[in-house]
Amino acid sequence: MSPDEDYDSESEGLDDNGIGLGVSGQGNVPASDNDTILRPKRIADMVGQTEVMDVLHIAIDAAKKRGEQLGHILFDGPPGLGKTTFATCIPREMGVHVEMTTGPSLKAPKELIPYLTNLERGSVLFIDEIHRLPKPVEEFLYTAMEDFRIDIVVGEGVNARTLNLALQPFTLIGATTRAGMLSGPLRDRFHIRQHLGYYDVEDLVEILMRNAKKLRVELRPDAAEEIARRARGTPRIANNRFLWVRDYAMSKSDGVVTKGVTGKALEMMGIDGIGLDRQDRRYLETLIRVFHGGPAGVEALGHTMSVSSDTLEDEVEPFLLRSELIIRTQRGRCATPRAFAMFK
């Protein structure tokens, strides 16, 4: 979606939560239509994150009764848990326009000005990956968030002058996977800060069953549970693995997603019973076989596997840590007894 495109457009895509009661399809749904169909329209269409939804319902209801804009909101948490989904559903609940951009795309304060000046009263500015805003852009936001104005310097040297430009009262919604990287002054300017946690299997099953209905795919409950157990508690991963299993069922079977078909499809992708993929198991095997269980530094592991250390830290280790298969120590990474048991 382009920054200037209204959220009410039909070009809506699948994002973090990946569920919803979107446009009903007719017959078989082309892959290019999946995003539009699966995107949630309202917060009530979402599954899980009950505590976050309760807070948002109260804040939205109070803002509507006051006739004012919603307070600034910051969502943080691991990727794929619904930050962007919440940020795009909130404008619908408020009945307002939304402007969307990302932290890395705003390289200078002047690139933020069009977004701010295009905002209508009560509308929403959504900045994804807000922790990656450059410092000058972040500081430029301070007065915009607090006083709804921006200061623009015109000219240079002794001829320079400052113009104070008033903005329409708006709501800034930020999403980040690394809240600790936000500066204190920016973080404190958000009125509501919510952390999104991982989903349990029951919530993921409900998401998958809804998705199957929207895509007109026959998904058996035990197959949905099998996918959910291997989805790492993340709706985005559950959706991606479901779409692969659907394709496998259409190609190798009669299109019905059964538990047996699901097992074969995920086995073909190298995804085991707890959700580990080939790279996860290779990491554990390297740590146990080459480094005798550790401790081993992430850079040493990366060099041995021919994988960048950033990839290991950002994509591989979080789930292994959460699954209690490795631990981090001051000396490096160590495999746990549970990890050793997997390779006996």
Burial 34-54 (b: 16+ CB within 10 A, else e): bebbbbbbebebbbbbeebbe
Domain that holds residue 319: 278-342
Q: Could you confirm whether 84 is annotated as catalytic?
A: yes
How many structural domains comprise the chain? 3
If asked whether residues 217 and 244 sit together in one domain, one would say yes
If asked whether residues 211 and 329 sit together in one domain, one would say no
Position 124 pLDDT exceeds 60: yes
Q: What per-residue confidence (pLDDT) applies to 25?
A: 34
Q: Could you confirm whether 83 is annotated as catalytic?
A: yes
Q: What per-residue confidence (pLDDT) applies to 32?
A: 43
Helix residue ranges, H only, 3-134? 34-38, 50-66, 83-94, 109-117
Of 6-10, 118-122, 223-227, 329-333, the one with minimum mean pLDDT is 6-10
If asked whether residues 299 and 262 sit together in one domain, one would say no
If asked whether residues 186 and 205 sit together in one domain, one would say no
Give the largest Cα separation in the chain, rounded.
76
- Write down the catalytic residue from 15, 84, 88, 336: 84
- Residue in the block written with tokens 């949905």: 224
Q: What per-residue confidence (pLDDT) applies to 34?
A: 58
If asked whether residues 223 and 104 sit together in one domain, one would say no
If asked whether residues 114 and 240 sit together in one domain, one would say no
If asked whether residues 141 and 205 sit together in one domain, one would say no
If asked whether residues 224 and 300 sit together in one domain, one would say no
The more confidently predicted of residues 12 and 55 is: 55
Q: Answer yes or no: are the C-beta atoms of 100 and 11 closer than 8 Å.
A: no
Distances (CA, A) of 179 to 130, 188, 247, 290: 9, 12, 37, 35
Q: Could you confirm whether 236 is annotated as catalytic?
A: yes
- Write down the catalytic residue from 128, 203, 277, 280: 128
Q: What per-residue confidence (pLDDT) applies to 179?
A: 85
Residue 302 has a CB neighbour count (10 Å cut-off) of: 19
Q: Could you confirm whether 177 is annotated as catalytic?
A: yes
- Write down the catalytic residue from 85, 101, 171, 177: 177
Q: What per-residue confidence (pLDDT) applies to 181?
A: 87
Q: What per-residue confidence (pLDDT) applies to 338?
A: 93
- Write down the catalytic residue from 236, 241, 246, 333: 236
Q: What per-residue confidence (pLDDT) applies to 36?
A: 58
Q: Could you confirm whether 110 is annotated as catalytic?
A: no
- In this prediction the pTM is 0.81
